[in-house]
Chain A
Amino acid sequence: MLRIENLHSGYGRIEALHDVSLDVSAGEVVALLGANGAGKTTLLRAISGVQPVTSGQIRFEDRRIERMPAHRRVLLGIAQVPEGRQLFAPLSVEDNLKLGAWTRRASDLTADIAGIFAMFPILSEMRHTAAGALSGGQQQMLAIGRALMSKPKLVLLDEPSMGLAPILVDQIFNIVAQLKRSGQTILLVEQNARAALAIADRGYVIETGRITVGGDAATLLADPRVQSGYLGV
């Protein structure tokens, strides 16, 4: 579904991604592991089109998209839950969800919004609250809900568990597992490598802008480099 080949990207003259290649097939959950500043967010930004690519290819369903504007990529079916949630803070929970469905031009979103509320009942109680006034966990739920509202083929999740209390982390990973069971294709960026690999089918490790290891989740869990670097073994 997604195939990245020899991708280079950076900020100004500083290159942040060197020759990155990676695939995600339909129905898969793929984990992307890496330390702070490794380039995980930069890669997701490049896939979504909010980060310029200097060379290399991004293919989505056999279409080259690396030069396509961001809004058209959403239309093709790529949604991102960005780092730091990036909600529309002054707008209500419900409006954030409606805007998540912007590309669908659907006239009636009641059923879709009800679907998100079924997944995150707490959001239903807060439907008229400004997104900026939610707690960290609620904001993360809303960010996920907003991305799902576009009915994406591929969801890019950037550290959804970051900064959350352990009980909420479990809840977020449960949701990711639930999405996986429903057949949703996901590229999951996480620092919490153990939890991510427990859900993922496959994974990659990125270090200072390069993919260094890639393989089945079970293989990665057993790999000494992954164990010492990311699993604290």
Chain B
Amino acid sequence: MAELLQFAFSGLTVGAVYALVALGFTLIYNASDVINFAQGEFVMLGGLVTVFLLAAGLPLPVAALLAVVASTLVGLALYRFAIEPARGANAVTLIMITIGASIFLRGAAQVIFDKRYHSLPPLFGDTPIRFGGAAILPQSLVVLAGALVIVVLLWAFVDRTLFGKAVLATAANKLAARLVGIDTRLTVGFSFAISAAIGAIAGILVTPITLTSYNIGTLLALKGFAAAMLGGIGSAVGAVLGGLLLGLLEALSAGYLSSEFKDAVAFIVILAVLFVRPQGLLGRARVERV
């Protein structure tokens, strides 16, 4: 029982990160129909930029804030200079563009930073909290709380502000959005920015536990994609649920089977979803928009 609890906690912690990556996927996908495989690079940038600014002598909160700002700018640049000029291109071309952007960002990070693994100091130390026989790192709770705060803020933003509704409206029907006078470059660009910021925050929160390096983005993007598919591509609630579930599945299979299986779980999930329920847990069968 204590073992199960232990696995569940580590699964939920990693799952929270997958959930945030999947949420980023969903935001960009809904706004622009783009599957952004550079989503993991935002997580990498968040962690690495914070690490290096901290090493340069800035206080942690300032370093973290600047890292989020930097990633957000990268997200905006991705939209403005890579996605927006290619509007009207087919889905495969757009995916190639985001993969290209991901390779570019990884290369740039390797040159600007380095190829080593880095950590950040945990917010509340690293003395594990004992709970039901399991040991929980305080930083795990920080990750979970951070993910919760992000989800609630995002929900409040789209539900309570007119700009948030304009973002939803753009996702629901871009033609109609333009016809009511919404500048859709603004709302879509905003979705890229928010998505990048969420990824960066996830990266900063989880680095004390999982460490970070220039190349963590690729696998994270795949995991986030698997999570989004599991939850149902396009569904924000599904993304969060899919992320947590994928994290749990990984931790349980690593614990009870072998840790070698851990990374295979995401691929098995992708295949299983494709075969059994292509629309995911909460997604609706995709209706072609005419």
The secondary structure that dominates the B interface is helix
* Interface status of B263 (Cβ within 8 A of chain A): no
A69 to B179, Cβ gap below 8 A? Answer: no
Q: How far is the CB of B158 from chain A (nearest CB, A)?
A: 10
Q: How far is the CB of B191 from chain A (nearest CB, A)?
A: 16
Question: From B178, which residue of chain A is reached at the shortest CB distance?
Answer: A70
Report how far A88 CA is from B165 CA in the complex, Å. Answer: 10
At the interface with chain B, which of A74-82, A119-127, A205-213?
Answer: A74-82
Report how far A75 CA is from B176 CA in the complex, Å. Answer: 15
- Bin the interface of chain B by size: 10 to 19
A50 to B178, Cβ gap below 8 A? Answer: yes
Report how far A88 CA is from B289 CA in the complex, Å. Answer: 13
* Interface status of B168 (Cβ within 8 A of chain A): yes
Pick from B172, B175, B183, B184: contact of A91, CB under 8 Å:
B172
* Interface status of A42 (Cβ within 8 A of chain B): no
* Interface status of B89 (Cβ within 8 A of chain A): no
Measured between beta carbons, the chain B residues less than 8 angstroms from A95 are 165, 169
B183 to A69, Cβ gap below 8 A? Answer: yes
Measured between beta carbons, the chain B residues less than 8 angstroms from A64 are none
Measured between beta carbons, the chain B residues less than 8 angstroms from A98 are 162, 165
Q: How far is the CB of A140 from chain B (nearest CB, A)?
A: 14
Give the most central of B162, B173, B181: most A CB within 10 Å.
B181
* Interface status of A163 (Cβ within 8 A of chain B): no
Report how far A89 CA is from B180 CA in the complex, Å. Answer: 14
A71-B181, A71-B183, A150-B181 are known contacts. Are A82 and B168 too (CB-CB below 8 A)? no
A-B contact count (CB 8 A): 71
* Interface status of B34 (Cβ within 8 A of chain A): no
Contact bitstring A152-191, B, C-beta under 8 A = 1, else 0: 0000000000000000000000000000000000000000
* Interface status of B166 (Cβ within 8 A of chain A): yes
Report how far A49 CA is from B180 CA in the complex, Å. Answer: 12
Number of chain A residues whose Cβ lies closer than 8 Å to a Cβ of chain B: 29
Q: How far is the CB of B190 from chain A (nearest CB, A)?
A: 14
Contact bitstring A45-72, B, C-beta under 8 A = 1, else 0: 0001110000000000000000001111
Contact bitstring B166-204, A, C-beta under 8 A = 1, else 0: 101100110111111111100000000000000000000
Pick from B165, B172, B179, B183: contact of A50, CB under 8 Å:
B179
At the interface with chain B, which of A1-9, A20-28, A31-39, A99-107?
Answer: A99-107
B180 to A87, Cβ gap below 8 A? Answer: no
Give the most central of B172, B179, B183, B184: most A CB within 10 Å.
B179
- Excluding A79-B180, A87-B173, A91-B168, 5 further A-B contacts by CB distance (< 8 Å) are A69-B183, A90-B172, A95-B169, A99-B180, A102-B166
Chain B positions within 8 Å of A, measured between CB atoms, are 162, 165-166, 168-169, 172-173, 175-184, 290
